[in-house]
Amino acid sequence: MIELYHIWKQYQKPDWALADISLTIRNGEFCFITGPSGSGKTTLLKIIFREILPTEGQIIIDGLNVLKIPDHLIYRLRRQMGIVFQDFRLLYERRVFDNVAISLRVLGLSTKEIRRRVFNALRQVNLHQKMWDYPYQLSYGEQQRVAIARAIVNEPRIILADEPTGNLDPDLAFEIISLFKEINKRGATVIICTHDREIIRHFGEKVFFLHKGKLIGKEVFPSSKK
């Protein structure tokens, strides 16, 4: 369970990027954080991922106070999470296989195990036939799927995606979110930041609305509806 208590974040005085955000996301939930540009979606995601620290507040993930984890042990938290960005963040001089394998190499797994898991992850995103291509040889949608494969390959319990459909056309965007939904069905908690209302209308189970750094609303749909 991810619990955020009274999160405040200030980059520059006097503006607050986040103001008194409190929310709870249960294990296995599929939820969206939405709001216009500059509403604080990415900041919130970065705080959950502990890429940045909040100015005030507490974050508890599965009973663990994230802010009390010393810097040199942050990797333990991050190994439980997979993150996907709008701009993919792929290494373009490395093959698709290596881009996905990077998440496993840090765990010190054997080459054989890495190959097996990378192949499985790429098969899940239907890219196993392009395993030895370079990212620049792929379409945007395929590149995003590589980024997703990298995020899921070590089977994390939490997947965070920051505008994962921002660069994609509507059909591809639906395909990508469907993929996240499939991952969620296998038990992972999925949190997606998006401002795409169409996607939220179609997939949203739990939606948090942000505006100017404040949580202005929360909507929960019965999951059976989707």
- Spatial distance between the Cα atoms of 219 and 198, rounded to a whole number of angstroms: 15
Binding positions for other proteins, 97-116, rule CB under 8 A: 102-103, 106-107
| Smallest gap from residue 77 Cβ to other proteins (A) | 8
Per CB under 8 A, contacts with other proteins among 154-173 are: 154
Within 136-155, the residues that bind other proteins by CB under 8 A are 150, 154
Contact 226, 196 (CB under 8 A): no
From residue 183, give the alpha-carbon distance in Å to each of 34, 60, 121, 190: 20, 23, 11, 8
The answer to whether 43 contacts other proteins (rule: CB under 8 A) is no
Smallest separation (angstroms) from other proteins to the CB of 115: 17
Answer yes or no: are the C-beta atoms of 88 and 176 closer than 8 Å: no
The window from 8-16, 30-38, 52-60, 74-82 that contacts other proteins (CB under 8 A) reads 74-82
Contact predicate 39/95, CB 8 Å: no
Q: Is residue 35 exposed (0-12), middle (13-18) or buried (19+ Cβ within 10 Å)?
A: buried
Residue in the block written with tokens 């797994």: 109
Name the residue nearer to other proteins (CB basis): 14 or 108: 108
| Residue placing its CB nearer to other proteins in the complex, 75 or 140 | 75
Interaction of residue 225 with other proteins, rule CB under 8 A: no
- Residue with the two structure tokens 């942000």: 210
Which of 75, 123, 169, 187 is in the footprint of other proteins by CB under 8 A?
A: 75
* Site membership for other proteins, residue 91 (CB under 8 A): yes
**Smaller CB separation from other proteins, 71 or 171:** 71
Chain residues binding other proteins by CB under 8 A are: 49, 51, 71-72, 75-79, 83, 89, 91, 102-103, 106-107, 150, 154
